[in-house]
Amino acid sequence: MNKDIPTDAAAPQRNSFNLLKRLLKNYILPYKALLIVALICSAIVAIMTAGIAQMMKPILDEVINGQNQSMIVPVATAFLLAFCIRGAASYVSVIYMNKVSQFMIGDIQKHLFSHFMGLDLAFFHKNPSGQLMSIIVNDVNVLRGTISDMLMGIGRSFLTLILLIGVMFYQDAVLAGAAMVVFPFAAIFVAYLGKRIRQISKHLQGDVASLSDKLAKVFQGIRVVKAYGMEDHEKDRASTSIMAVRKMNLKAVRVGQLSTPVNEVLVGFILFGVIVYGGHQAAQGEMTAGQLGAFLTAFIMAYEPMKKLARLNNAIQMGLGAAERIFQVLDETPNIQSKENAPALESANKDIVFTDAQFQYESAEDKAIKSLSFTAPAGKVTALVGPSGGGKTTILNLIPRFYDITGGVIAIGYQDIRDISIESLRASIALVSQDITIFDTTVYENIAYGKVGATQEEVEAAAKAAAAHDFILAMDQGYETQVGEEGVKLSGGQRQRISIARAILRNAPILLLDEATSALDNESEKAVQGALKALEKGRTTIVIAHRLSTIQDADQILVVNHGEITDRGTHDELLKNSILYTNMHKAGTNG
């Protein structure tokens, strides 16, 4: 289990009762109408089952012994009707119980995904995507099986068992009481097994999540795996994870099935006692054969729901282990949120001002940004240069509040960005990063991601501005071409130009460019630079460029090193006054 996934946020929910209460209140009761129909049908099944056991008395006493031949057809008809009604009710109860569990699981998955979308970027950096996908898919699927079994167990097995026990007491209270003596011991043993199963379940879901994460990373990096001949290494790593999952699954089966031999032994002793006692009672005329037959039938029929209820506890504990992981994540709250009734950004066409801004990553010993102060003038281009790891990308990430500063102020105009709504802030920003995200969909949809409801003309205009239109038309299906996972069907330069087209389409007043042309060849870069120059006009732009030649015309250039601005000025001024900038200029690259 990934240690970064919260383990303490939901501590109050770890109690089984609280977990079940939360599931019932939030996800099951909204479908109470379906649940009531299912429970009514389950009750009918239980009643018919008990009725079948009770009818064994007249069958043995009057029909089979031939004492009352007129009872043959009515009793046979009653038997037939009981089975027909039980079959129909059983079918309806299963369908409706499954509807409830499927609807509930769909709600949990939607809730989980929506919750993930609202969490901070730091959460996703700490928790690998494979782990999170496993929670949404695998943990929720385990919970689905548990809820389905639980509803069926409570709705049918429990009611059936109660009614059959009633039949047993009706036939012979002493014999029934004696048969019930062992039940408390069986219940204690089942509860003990349940605790162990729940612990195993949590470890098992963690191992499955770890396996999912490893597989996802290997598939995403398959090009590097093959290039470095690491196939056998990855096979060994995957095999280790698969073996760990197999080991925990086998352990779960071993522990979970311990109740079966124990129950069989207990039932064997009970049947032995019933037959011995009942046989003597029947021989002495104190019990008819029909009474003993009805009692034995009820007891034998009660054994099946009893076994299901014993297994149900194991299933519930498996599901609660998954539910605990789910609720731990759902109880994770984002650190970065809009304040209540936060106003919208009044206008993004204002200066972006850093005043004594500071930032430190949670796991870092030193500050990534140290007392940073500068102004990015509205409608102007501010370039950030400096050695790799100096803090340039961190500065960009602070503006849309991917992270919050730990000291100082960042403002747009006179508005502290922490005081305005996150939605209005990010709606005013277009970001092109060196870490290009291309979705496994069409070229058109990847570009249109920059603007909800974009028209074909707008998408094509953005693609032309990003020097992407021609290569898109050269593809098999043009703008409708599926680009594959992470844009695997595209070259690095093509992926970058689609990303730039997305930002151009967004047409936001603040433009953040993080080495936006780093993957382009010289010819494509010249075309895109022209588009970016046009895009930058009238916009507040902060740019990090891989090649210093692309930012020589910036209105101001800030040299960032070790989280501080060491020099600032225009290109010509820095060549005269900054040794670090001069050295980078000679090398031709930024960092």
Per-residue pLDDT of the chain in tens (591 residues, 90 and over written 9): 444 444 333 343 456 778 888 888 888 889 889 888 988 888 888 888 888 777 777 777 666 665 666 767 777 788 788 888 888 988 888 888 888 888 888 898 888 888 888 888 888 878 877 778 888 888 888 888 778 777 777 777 778 878 878 877 877 777 777 777 666 666 667 667 767 776 777 777 777 777 777 777 777 666 566 665 777 877 888 888 888 878 887 877 777 667 667 666 776 777 677 677 767 776 777 777 777 777 777 777 777 777 777 667 777 777 777 888 888 888 888 888 888 888 988 877 788 999 999 998 877 778 889 889 999 998 899 999 988 888 888 999 999 998 899 999 999 988 999 999 988 898 888 888 877 788 888 999 989 988 888 899 999 998 888 888 988 999 889 999 888 877 778 877 788 888 888 888 888 889 998 887 766 667 667 767 777 777 777 789 999 877 787 888 889 999 998 889 999 999 899 998 888 888 888 876 665
Amino acid at 540: T
pLDDT in tens, 203-254: 777 777 777 777 777 776 665 666 657 778 778 888 888 888 788 878 777 7
Encoded tokens for 484: 């594959």
Encoded tokens for 203: 């470890």
Report the alpha-carbon distance of residue 508 to residue 541 in Å, rounded.
Answer: 10
Q: How many of the other CB atoms lie within 10 Å of CB of 88?
A: 14
pLDDT at 69: 67
pLDDT in tens, 259-302: 667 666 776 777 677 677 767 776 777 777 777 777 777 777 77
Query: 437-506: same fold as 11-330?
Result: no
Report the alpha-carbon distance of residue 47 to residue 35 in Å, rounded.
Answer: 18
pLDDT at 356: 93
pLDDT at 588: 66
Question: Which phi and psi angles does 510 have, rounded to 5°?
Answer: -115, 130
Question: Which phi and psi angles does 320 have, rounded to 5°?
Answer: -70, -30
Encoded tokens for 312: 């149900």
The closest alpha carbon to 366, from 395, 401, 386, 391, belongs to 391
pLDDT at 317: 74
Encoded tokens for 351: 């200066």
pLDDT at 12: 39
Report the alpha-carbon distance of residue 507 to residue 517 in Å, rounded.
Answer: 18
Q: What is the model's pTM?
A: 0.71
Q: Confirm or reject CATH 3.40.50.300 for domain 437-506, answering yes or no.
A: yes
Structure-token match 């011991």, residue found: 185
The closest alpha carbon to 536, from 553, 523, 558, belongs to 553
What is the H or E stretch that residue 511 is in?
strand 510-514
Do the Cβ atoms of 509 and 430 come closer than 8 Å?
no
> Residue 482 gets which letter from DSSP?
B
Altogether, the residues listed in the chain come to a count of 591
Beta strands 540-544; 510-514: pairing state: parallel
In DSSP notation, 347-366 reads: -SSS-EEEEEEEE--TT-SS
In DSSP notation, 93-121 reads: HHHHHHHHHHHHHHHHHHHHHHHHHTS-H
Q: Which of 2.130.10.10, 1.20.1560.10, 1.10.260.40, 1.10.10.10 would CATH assign to domain 11-330? A: 1.20.1560.10
Do the Cβ atoms of 157 and 315 come closer than 8 Å?
no
Torsion (CA) 215, 218, 220, 225 in degrees, nearest 10: -160
Domain boundaries, the chain: 11-330, 437-506
What is the H or E stretch that residue 407 is in?
strand 407-412
Compute CA distances 589 → 385, 387, 433, whole Å.
9, 10, 17
pLDDT at 457: 92
pLDDT at 238: 80
